[in-house]
Amino acid sequence: MEIKSPQFKKNAKAALADEQLQKALSHVRSKFIEKRATAVRELDCFNELRDNAVAIKKHTIKHLDLYLERFEEKVLEQGGQVHWAATARDARGQVLDICRKIAAKTVTKGKSMISEEIGLNEFLEVNDVTPIETDLGEYIIQLRGEHPSHIIAPAVHLNMDQIREDFREHHTELPEDRSLEEPISLLQEARGILREKFLGADVGITGANFLIAETGTSVIVTNEGNGDLTQTLPRIHIVLASIEKVVPTLEDTSQILRVLARSATGQEMSVYTTLSSGPKRGDDPDGPDEFHVVLLDNGRSSMLGTEFEDMLRCIRCGACMNHCPVYHAVGGHAYGWVYPGPMGSVLSPSLAGIENTGHLPNASTFCGRCESVCPMRIPLPKMMRHWREREFELHLSPASQRRNLKLWAWFAKRPKYYRLFSRLSHLALKMLAGKSGRISFLPLAGGWTRFRDMPGPEPKTFMQAWQDRSTRDQPQ
Amino acid sequence: MSSRGEILDRIRSAVGGVATDKMRKANVERRLKRHPVGILPWTYKNNDQVITQFTVKAKKADSTVERCKSADVSKAIVRFLKKHNLPAACRIGADRKLKNLLKGQEAVLEITHGPNDGSQLTGVSCALGAAAETGTLFLVSGKDNPTTLNFLSENHIVVIHKKDILKHQEDLWVRLRRKYGAGKLPRTVNLITGPSRSADIEQTLILGAHGPQRLHIIVVMN
Ligand code: SF4
């Protein structure tokens, strides 16, 4: 997927003016937050579970190489295959090779963010393999030629009338006068069309929420059942998973499952949690003949041992974006790459490079809500700050911002001049504010004052006030 | 170097290198062998409470639940089908327990056997167990209860004996290890909590997405 993060400001502006989008985003604000809050309230040990989930992931990351090796060993033992992919390109190639071996024409797909990350659909298409997204939200955006705007609710940026129009435009084989008034009729139409695709597909590709080292198992967590049809009906099942998805045992999986659905959709448990271990066995009447796992690194191992290591705990629940005022205002597409919201602002620079995604760590009000709801207690604001620092060190921030900061640093190191300068600017601001006490135009900050007034300065500079106070507070 | 070597090397150099491997290996072996149980929510005073919790949670996830005696299972199935205006027919796998429960009912209920190819409206399965904490059923793949019955049936009926309803997911992992051996699982284990659904259109919940529209659970009490 092409990276459009450098245009974040432009994207955000367009998003704010987009009425359809703003209407759709109101569902994120109202529904997700309330549902999570209720689910969390109803489980008295939610915070203890969070702590334990964090501990499990920390332990796993410390032993990541060993758990991955064990996972591989177990998959091979039960007749599956493991493909290690250092880069997105490796992973795409491996998937295509598997498809080519059986001359696959169509591939059904369960929801997978890794597939988005490696740009799999576009790649398969140019190589004459047709990918068909089967998650309802993914199916809708595939019809529209779009990408997901949310990691668990890919079509959350759309309203029903838009979807209705898409279905009328694309499903031309159906009678024109059919009613599509209710959401259920849209769902049933998609279900009918996708049933055929499921039964006719050669290969099924799913993501993975977990890989269990103990048993060589991949786990998907879904609500629709499309992931299960995707992996049960075709001859080949390919799992796309990144290396940090591994957990040690079944018990560890249960611990994290207890915080996952509650944080994501507010359900106590998603409808389907499916554990898959290898291909069809001797007495299986159904299931795939081949089971492949593509293990993707794509920059993750380079996060180990850095200030971004904690991000590898992320379980992709989406809670951080559901609670983010910036996401609420601009939606997911403005972020310009696969992963939106606070988790994206931290992860995207790690995976796609800070030089391509520099604006993202600034897409934050630092209100801290993301960290407070993150089930894996990932310090997202702190990591965004780290990225800002890196961005500055690498001379990637805008020239004007750098110049001003440098100027400030010069003064800050010279207290005498600093005091003089701040007193002078204080005076200047006072003059600008006049009697109203508000400043409606500030030189060099026109962008800021165009839409708001800046309050006039306090009667004294901070330094003066501090000095007065220190003298006053002197013990008598 | 292969991707495999490259990735593992990078991880190793970041997390501690070779010198400490012995200790790290021992840590991993210990965890895999002992599979420590973490935090378990809810406490139960007796078995009745476990069944009650299961029922409450399953209903909360939009399953329907009824309790009956083993002799009445087929009657319960027929009643369910009638209530929803469905033909008195169902598909089952080779599960012997289930076959016994439905024996001698051919006059009122047409039973066919095997996986579902999408043409069967109603599938009946027998669950390996259930976790009361969230009303979740555990089904395993194989000829006894083919996986396609769980997903291609419009209506899915699951029969479970009350003694197989356990408190937590962790209790089921113990049971699976006992049955299939340590470190081994059947090809697919399906944890199912309610009928399929989607909220992808304006966050409005609709039941019956790609999987079953109805999930009916029959708890056998004797
Ligand atoms: S960063 Fe935390 S809240 Fe955000 S998706 Fe990841 S686990 Fe969920």
Q: Whose CA is nearest to atom 7 of ligand 1?
A: A314
Residues 403-462 of A with CB under 8 A from B: none
Residues of A in contact with B147 (CB under 8 A): 228, 232, 286-287
Residue B90 lies in a domain: yes
Among A291-300, A375-384, A456-465, B182-191, which is the least confidently predicted range? A456-465
Q: What local confidence, expressed as pLDDT, does residue A450 receive?
A: 55
- Rounded CA gap, A383 and A374, in Å? 14
Strands A217-222 and A203-206: unpaired
**CATH number of the CATH domain containing B132:** 3.40.50.10420
Closest-CA residue of chain B to A51: B39
pLDDT band at A410 (very low <50, low <70, confident <90, very high): low
pLDDT for the residue numbered B166: 98
pLDDT at B191 over 50: yes
Both B87 and B10 in one domain: the answer is: no
Whole-number Å distance, alpha carbon A53 to ligand 1 midpoint, is: 13
Distance from Cα A448 to the centre of ligand 1, integer Å: 32
How far apart are the C-alpha atoms of A406 and A412, rounded to whole Å? Answer: 10
The pLDDT score that the predictor gives to residue A391 is 80
d(CA A104, CA A457): 69
- B39 lies in a domain? no
Which chain A residues are closer than 8 Å to B195 by Cβ? 271
| Substitution site in A46, A265, A320 for ligand 1 pocket (most atoms within 8 Å of beta carbon) | A320
Global pTM value: 0.89
Residues B73 and B24 in one domain: no
Cα B167 to ligand 1 centre (Å) = 28
**pLDDT-derived band at B178, boundaries 50, 70, 90:** very high
Indicate if the pLDDT at residue B115 is higher than 60. yes
In a domain, B157, yes or no: yes
Residue B121 in domain: yes
Residue of chain B with shortest Cα separation from A24: B202
Size of interface A-B (CB pairs under 8 A): 262
Considering the domain architecture, whether residues B103 and B20 belong to the same structural domain is answered as: no
Which domain covers residue B91, as residue numbers? 47-220
In a domain, B40, yes or no: no
Q: Which residues pair with A438 in a beta bridge?
A: A455
The yes-or-no verdict on residue B213 having pLDDT over 50 is yes
Kindly state whether residues B126 and B209 are assigned to the same domain.
yes
Determine the atom of ligand 1 nearest the C-alpha atom of A317.
8
Does B117 lie in the same domain as B27? no
* Domain assignment present for B42: no
pLDDT above 90 as % of chain A: 72
Mean pLDDT throughout A29-52? Answer: 94
Q: Judge whether B184 lies within some domain.
A: yes
Beta carbons of A249 and B31 less than 8 angstroms apart: yes
Residues of A in contact with B168 (CB under 8 A): 254
pLDDT for the residue A471: 61
A69, A285, A302: residue with CB nearest B143:
A285
Average pLDDT over chain A, rounded to an integer: 89
Please give the number of the atom of ligand 1 that sits closest to the Cα of A380: 1
Indicate whether B96 and B13 sit together in one domain.
no
Residue with tokens 């799999």: A120
> Which of the residues B59, B192, B202, B206 would you substitute to probe the A interface, choosing the one with the greatest number of A C-beta atoms within 10 Å?
B202
Query: Would you mind telling me the total number of residues written for chain A in this entry?
Result: 476
Ligand 1 proximity of A378 Cβ (cutoff 6 Å): yes
- Report the alpha-carbon angle A287-A293-A299, nearest 5: 155
The count of structural domains within chain B is 2
Interchain CB distance below 8 Å, B198 and A187: yes
Contact A273 B24 (CB under 8 A): no
Distance CA A227, CA B211 (A): 10
Q: Does ligand 1 lie within 6 Å of residue A316's CB atom?
A: yes
Q: Do B29 and B56 belong together in one domain? A: no
* Predicted ipTM of the assembly: 0.97
* Shared domain check, B178 and B81: yes
The residue-averaged pLDDT of B165-177 equals: 98
pLDDT digits (tens, 9 = 90+) for B29-61: 999 999 999 999 988 999 999 999 999 999 999
A203 φ/ψ angles, rounded to the nearest 5 degrees: -135, 145
Say if ligand 1 is within 6 A of residue A317 CB. yes
Asked whether residue B66 falls in the same domain as residue B172, the answer is yes
Q: What number is the average pLDDT over the span A283-306?
A: 96
Q: Is A343 touching ligand 1 by the criterion CB < 6 Å? A: yes
B176 vs A contacts (CB less than 8 Å): 250
Question: Cα A209–B141–B199 angle (5° rounding)?
Answer: 45
Q: Which domains does chain A have, with CATH numbers?
A: 43-159+194-298 (3.40.50.10420), 418-473 (no CATH)
**Do B59 and B106 reside in the same domain of the chain?**
yes
Q: Please tell me the least confidently modeled range out of A16-20, A137-141, A302-306, B104-108.
A: B104-108
- Of A171, A160, A107, nearest to A137 (Cα)? A160
Question: Which of A345, A346, A349, A348 is CA-nearest to residue A327?
Answer: A345
Residue of A nearest to B213 (CA): A224
Inform me whether the C-beta atom of residue A255 falls under 8 Å from chain B C-beta atoms: yes
Window 37-56 of B, Cβ < 8 Å to A: 37-39, 41
A35 and chain B: CB distance < 8 Å anywhere? no
Instruction: Give the residues across from B189 on adjacent strands.
Output: A275, B140
A272/B190 CB distance under 8 A: yes
Statement: residue A103 has pLDDT above 90: yes
Q: What is the rounded average pLDDT of the residues B164-182?
A: 97
From the list A140, A232, A273, the residue facing B147 with the nearest CB is A232
Per-residue pLDDT tens for A235-244?
Answer: 999 999 999 9
Looking at residue A364, its pLDDT comes to 83
What pLDDT score does A400 carry? 61
In A, which residues are within 8 Å of B134 by CB distance? 268-269
Q: Are residues B99 and B163 in the same domain?
A: yes
Residues A305-352 pLDDT 10s: 999 999 999 999 999 999 999 999 999 999 989 999 999 999 999 998
Instruction: Select from A271, A287, A302 the Cβ nearest to the Cβ of B147.
Output: A287
Q: Is the pLDDT of residue A88 over 80?
A: yes
Q: Are residues B113 and B135 in the same domain?
A: yes
pLDDT reading at A475 higher than 50: no
pLDDT band at B203 (very low <50, low <70, confident <90, very high): confident
Contact at CB, B193 and A268, closer than 8 angstroms: yes
**What pLDDT shows up at residue B188?**
97
A48, A63, A226 member nearest B210 (Cβ): A226
pLDDT score of B76: 96
- Calpha distance A357→A42 (Å, rounded): 39
Query: By the 8 A CB rule, do B69 and B221 touch?
Result: yes
Q: What is the DSSP string of A231-267?
A: HHSSSEEEEEEEGGGEES-HHHHHHHHHHHHHHHTS-
Indicate which residue's Cα is closest to atom 2 of ligand 1.
A374
The beta-carbon neighbor of A215 closest among B10, B14, B183 is B183
Distance from CA of B110 to the nearest CA of A (A): 21
Note whether A195 contacts B118, CB cutoff 8 Å: yes
Give B91's contacts (C-beta < 8 A, 6+ positions apart): B111, B112, B113, B114, B116, B120, B122, B123, B124, B149, B153
B114 domain-assigned: yes
Check CB contact of B59 with chain A, cutoff 8 Å.
Answer: no
Q: Read out DSSP for A400-451?
A: HHHHHHHHHHHHHT-HHHHHHHHHHHHHHHHHHHTTTTEES--TT-HHHHTT
Torsion from C-alpha of B12, B15, B18, B19, nearest 10 degrees: 170
Residue A429 in this model has a pLDDT that exceeds 70: no
- The overall average pLDDT reported for chain B is 95
